[in-house]
């Protein structure tokens, strides 16, 4: 999962991209980068947070009326500093000049590598969009029609998810363009203000840089914008969109909208439905900050149990997207404190968005009980996660999921409750999750493999059964 942004217009875009990246920081905390173009390439990227990478004025203000930016969180399994530096985006090639920043995951990179004569400079799968697009555009006078033709061929070649932004040069003026996979797994939105155009991962960016929202970019589409403000768009492949359910559950910020749906409202509705499906006698509802807050609001409203802040979060890093288990543990241990005056003697409903590895929830349950709570009942706004994601969420190993036993079978809720130390545990149902979101969604991680788009199911079954980590693979029924 990453955040991307591209801006083009009649004045320098670098500072707008910089501010936009802050609004996307929650989507990636391992590296950040920004490229602007004025006939010359101005690129700064490195591992770390946006504020650390762009720590000097010369890095923030670079020339060019077109540019792209990226915040990355690694889903490749490489977490040493050198690999984080090397795989930071944007990436570019010369001849033709083409730069790209990508959100998603392309799982047939080994096939694409055999088809291109270019050598990828990094292990990051942005290469599997960048290189074939460059091959298709090579030795052409690049305009909208040429980009549409090239993109359609690349879309038929590439498997996986991608919402990507590109910069190239027509020979007359620079171009910004974007493309999305046919199922639109990852979000991408389009905005405008005073002849300036922005394409980015979430609508909250527009509030930060004071742009007006125009539309969500449809799946299988390409949008091309030149510096004169001409906008060209084609939907090259039409499929029924299947946005990632985890965008609604965890990744997108609550002040964003996806396909017109308020993320905040969806999470509140999930919490309301959760209270109806899994009621419990309790004294207070306590959200896990910040991820459980909207679910807890809905749960409290429906159940009538008052909500209170029994947990304080001191840090803003997101534990799920940390690169190592050690760093996840550190965030949880150092960043959380418990309010005894709220929790002592109470029967607590602890509400969160999801449980992946169990790292966070186990410590929270223990901390609440140590603060004097009589009971802790855990309620979760996402069904049990049971399978790795091959479309861009950092769930890499089948063995990471607390909901799975070592032999690959699925644990009961009571077993998981015992492991995390809770008095009871309940998850939202698949049906209620879908109804709360209100559109078709990709649910491969909770309903493997049938939750994936149909044409991907055989691919992901093969990936799942592969022994990628040097250990015995699970059998697939």
- DSSP type of residue 26: G
The whole-number average pLDDT for the span 21-36 is 96
Give pLDDT tens digits for 280-323.
Answer: 999 999 999 999 999 999 999 999 999 999 999 876 555 444 44
In a domain, 474, yes or no: no
Same domain membership, residue 18 and residue 103 = yes
How far is the C-alpha of 169 from the C-alpha of 302, rounded, in Å? Answer: 55
Mean pLDDT of the chain: 92
Q: Which of 72, 64, 69 is nearest to 38 (CA)?
A: 64
* pLDDT band at 476; cut points 50, 70, 90: very low
Contact (CB, 8 A) for 99 and 66: no
Q: For residue 441, give the nearest of 274, 266, 271 by alpha carbon.
A: 266
Residue 6: inside a domain:
yes
Is there a single domain that holds both residue 145 and residue 12? yes
Regarding whether 354 and 213 lie in a shared domain, the answer is no
Establish if 67 belongs to a structural domain: yes
Q: Nearest CA to 320 among 220, 250, 268?
A: 250
| Residues across the chain | 477
Domain containing 84 — which CATH number?
Answer: 3.60.20.10
User: Which of 202, 226, 241 is the last residue in one of the domains?
Assistant: 241
Give Cα 252 to chain centroid, integer Å.
7
Establish whether the linkage from the previous residue to 449 is cis, with ω within 30° of 0.
yes
Neighbours of 67 (CB within 10 A): 31
pLDDT band at 472 (very low <50, low <70, confident <90, very high): very low
Share of the chain above pLDDT 70, in %: 92
Quick: pLDDT tens for 122-149. Answer: 888 999 999 999 999 999 999 999 999 9
Distance between CA atoms of 389 and 244, rounded to whole angstroms? Answer: 10
Beta strands in 146-301 (DSSP E): 160-169, 174-180, 189-193, 196-200, 212-216, 221-226, 231-235, 257-258, 261-262, 284-287
The answer on 217 and 117 residing in a single domain is: yes
| pLDDT recorded at residue 400 | 79
Q: For tokens 């965030």, what's the residue?
A: 331
Structure tokens at 247: 């965008």
Mean pLDDT of 321-335: 53
Tell whether 252 is covered by a domain.
no
Q: Are 160 and 108 within 8 A, CB to CB?
A: yes
In sequence order, the 6+-apart residues with CB closer than 8 A to the CB of 84 are 30, 31, 47, 74, 78, 323
Q: What is the CA radius of gyration of the chain?
A: 22
Is 41 within 8 Å of 92 (Cβ atoms)?
A: yes
Claim to verify: residue 103 and residue 212 sit in the same structural domain? yes
The answer to whether residues 68 and 6 touch, using CB atoms and an 8 Å cutoff, is yes
User: Could you give the residue numbers annotated as active site?
Assistant: 2
Domain end among 190, 207, 241 = 241
Do 278 and 207 sit in the same domain of this protein?
A: no
User: CA dihedral defined by 446, 451, 453, 454, rounded to 10 degrees?
Assistant: 140
Tokens of 285: 């509802």
* Residue 390 within any structural domain of the chain: yes
Does residue 440 have a pLDDT over 80? yes
Q: Residue 452's domain is classified under what CATH number?
A: 3.40.50.2020
Residue scoring higher pLDDT (188 or 322): 188
Please tell me the distance from the alpha carbon of residue 34 to that of residue 101, in angstroms, as a whole number.
Answer: 9
For helices 263-277 and 293-303, give the axis angle rounded to 10 degrees.
Answer: 50
Q: Tell me, yes or no, if the pTM score tops 0.75.
A: yes
Is residue 233 located within the same domain as residue 269? no
311 and 373 together in one domain: yes
198 & 269 share domain: no
Counted domains in the chain: 2
Boundary (domain end) residue, out of 241, 257, 283: 241
Q: Which of 97, 108, 105, 137 is nearest to 124 (CA)?
A: 105
pLDDT grade, residue 399 (50/70/90)? confident
Angstrom distance (rounded) from CA 45 to CA 31: 7
Coil/strand/helix, residue 87 = coil
Nearest to 313 by CA among 285, 338, 294, 293: 338
- 392 and 455 inside one domain: yes
pLDDT cut 90: percent of the chain above it: 83
409 vs 241: CA distance, rounded Å: 30
Strand partners, 36: 42, 67
> Which residues lie closer than 8 Å to 140 by C-beta, 6 or more apart?
96, 146
Which letter does DSSP use for residue 383 in this model?
A: P
Domain shared by 203 and 313, yes or no: no
Please report which residue ranges of 281-347 form alpha helices under DSSP H: 293-303, 325-335, 340-343
**Do both 43 and 174 map to the same domain?**
yes
**Inside any domain, residue 255:** no
Is residue 250 in some structural domain? no
**Domain encompassing residue 160:** 2-241
User: Can you tell me whether residue 387 is helix, strand or coil?
Assistant: coil
Domain annotation covers residue 256: no
What DSSP line would sit under 89-114, residue for residue?
Answer: S-EEETTTTEEEEEEEEES-HHHHHH
Q: What is the rounded distance in angstroms from the CA atom of residue 249 to the CA atom of residue 264?
A: 10
pLDDT value at residue 75: 57
Residue 289's H or E segment, with its range, is none
Read off the tokens for 322. Answer: 């940390």
- CB contact at 8 A, 65 and 167: no
Instruction: Mean pLDDT check: name the lowest of 63-67, 329-333, 385-389.
Output: 329-333
**pLDDT above 90 for 464:** no
Q: Could you tell me which residues are beta bridge partners of residue 31?
A: 47, 72
Q: Tokens at residue 122, please?
A: 């990094």
């Amino acid at each position: 999962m990453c955040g991307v942004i591209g801006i083009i217009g009649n004045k320098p875009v670098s500072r707008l991209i910089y501010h936009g990246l802050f609004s996307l920081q929650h989507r990636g905390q391992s590296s950040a980068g920004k490229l602007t173009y004025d006939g010359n390439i101005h690129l700064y990227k490195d591992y770390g947070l946006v504020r650390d990478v762009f720590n000097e004025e010369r890095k923030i203000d670079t020339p060019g009326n077109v540019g792209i930016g990226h915040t990355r969180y690694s889903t490749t399994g490489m977490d040493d500093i050198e690999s984080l530096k090397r795989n930071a985006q944007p990436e570019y090639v010369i001849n033709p000049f083409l730069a790209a920043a990508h959100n998603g995951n392309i799982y047939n990179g080994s096939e694409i590598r055999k088809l291109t004569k270019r050598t990828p400079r990094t292990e990051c799968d942005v290469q599997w969009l960048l290189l074939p697009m460059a091959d298709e555009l090579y030795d052409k006078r690049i305009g909208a029609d040429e980009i549409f033709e090239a993109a359609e061929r690349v879309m038929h070649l590439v498997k996986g998810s991608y919402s990507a932004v590109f910069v190239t040069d027509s020979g007359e003026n620079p171009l910004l363009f974007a493309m999305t996979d046919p199922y639109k797994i990852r979000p991408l939105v389009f905005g405008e203000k005073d002849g300036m155009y922005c394409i980015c991962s979430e609508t909250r960016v527009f509030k930060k840089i004071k742009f007006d929202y125009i539309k969500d970019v449809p799946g299988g589409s390409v949008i091309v914008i030149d510096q004169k403000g001409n906008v060209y768009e084609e939907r090259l492949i039409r499929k029924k969109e299947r946005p990632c359910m985890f965008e609604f559950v965890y990744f997108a910020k609550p002040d964003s909208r996806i396909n017109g749906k308020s993320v905040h409202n969806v999470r509140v509705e999930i919490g309301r439905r959760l209270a109806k499906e899994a009621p419990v006698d309790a004294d207070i509802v306590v959200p896990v900050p910040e991820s459980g807050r909207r679910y807890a609001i809905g749960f409290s409203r429906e159940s009538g149990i008052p909500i209170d802040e029994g947990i304080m979060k001191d840090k803003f890093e997101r534990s799920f997207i940390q690169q190592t288990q050690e760093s996840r543990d550190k965030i949880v241990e150092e960043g959380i404190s418990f309010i005894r005056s709220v929790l002592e003697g109470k029967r607590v409903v602890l509400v969160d968005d999801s449980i992946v590895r169990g790292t966070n929830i186990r410590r929270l349950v223990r901390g609440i009980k140590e603060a004097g709570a009589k009971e802790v009942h855990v309620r979760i706004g996402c069904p049990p996660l049971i399978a790795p994601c091959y479309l861009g969420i950092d769930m890499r190993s089948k063995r990471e999921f607390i909901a799975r036993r070592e032999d690959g079978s699925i644990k009961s809720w009571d077993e998981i409750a015992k492991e995390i130390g809770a008095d009871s545990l309940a998850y939202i149902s698949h049906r209620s999750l879908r109804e709360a979101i209100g559109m078709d969604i990709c649910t491969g991680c909770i309903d493997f493999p049938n939750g994936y788009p149909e044409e991907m199911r055989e691919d992901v079954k093969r990936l799942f059964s592969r022994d990628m980590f040097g250990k015995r693979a699970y059998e697939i029924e």
